[in-house]
Amino acid sequence: MKSVISKDGTSIAFDELGEGPPVILVGGSLSFRSFSWNTKLAEALSGAFTVINYDRRGRGDSGDTKPYAVQREVDDLAALIKHTGGSASVFGLSSGGTLALEAAASGLPIAKLAVYEPPFFDDPKHRPPTDYEAQLDRMISQGRRSDAVKLFMKVVGVPGFVIAIMRLFPFWRKFKAVAHTLPYDAAITGDFSLPIERLASVTTPTLAMWGEKSPQAFGAAAQAVVRAIPNARSRSLARQSHGPKPAVLAPALKEFFAP
């Protein structure tokens, strides 16, 4: 494990694998660097790149300076990019993709940017409750971590019977361990609307991807990102859903991130 110090003094922990042009992986809600999906993707890319697989603030071995602000997570990415030599490619999954897009819009020196199914939706039925972030904060303060995870799952469209089954698996405990960061992702994604003017300022070459088996709204969101960003392209991954297999995702990233 290595670490960098962010602008506000927070320690951000990461693992560094492989050799080659640097690529930073930005996880989505409830993910952390030792989660099996993250480690598998990092390993799959490490043959061609120097991969930075990090714990977003509040997760794993990273610190969590209060109060939370989205800009502080952008600063975390800036510190990691500085560690790599001053420029790096970035991949963001789901809400991690939203964060990565905000970092690019903020002017961070990102060589290439790839995102997978950032949650931008036009349909009102995909909007979270207006007090979603407040609900999460209240549940966390009351020690109701499992309820917070359940609320998040419901908001992102996971069927109730699937949530009930998921609670029986060991990974649910891992979700509960980082449930206090769900309000952070809620702050990042807002009401799921597409920040068209903000994205229009992104000049970084961008790839927006979605899974062929994902709900149609994710494909529409990725294509909306492409329309908003001047230098962007889209790609659908066959037979994949919101949690794409690293073995399928990695070749697409290798092709795009190749010098």
Domains for the chain: give ranges and CATH numbers: 2-123+192-257 (3.40.50.1820), 128-185 (no CATH)
Token pair in block for residue 59: 């997760």
Collect all residues with Cβ–Cβ distance below 8 Å to 232 and sequence separation of at least 6: 202, 205, 206, 207, 208, 225, 226
Residue 48 and residue 257: Cα distance in Å, rounded? 10
If one counts every other C-beta atom within 10 angstroms of the C-beta of residue 232, the result is 20
Q: What is the pLDDT of residue 223?
A: 96
Pairing type for strands 11-17 and 50-54 reads: antiparallel
Radius of gyration of the chain (CA): 17
pLDDT band at 231 (very low <50, low <70, confident <90, very high): very high
The whole-model pTM stands at 0.96
Task: Please check the confidence at residue 26 and state whether its pLDDT lies above 90.
Answer: yes
Place of tokens 């989205």: 70
Mean pLDDT of 38-50: 98
Nearest CA to 97 among 24, 167, 155, 48?
A: 24
Q: What is the pLDDT of residue 126?
A: 80
Secondary structure (DSSP) of 138-197: HHHHTT-HHHHHHHHHHHTT--HHHHHHHTTSTHHHHHHHTGGGHHHHHHHHTTS---HH
Side by side, which strands form the sheet with 11-17?
A: 2-5, 11-17, 50-54, 22-26, 88-93, 110-116, 206-211, 232-237
Q: What is the pLDDT of residue 197?
A: 95
pLDDT digits (tens, 9 = 90+) for 151-199: 999 998 889 999 999 999 999 999 999 999 999 999 999 999 999 999 9
Residue 192 and residue 25: Cα distance in Å, rounded? 22
Amino acid (1-letter code) at residue 23: V
pLDDT digits (tens, 9 = 90+) for 95-111: 999 999 999 999 999 99
Chain-wide mean pLDDT for the chain?
Answer: 96
Mean pLDDT of 211-215: 94
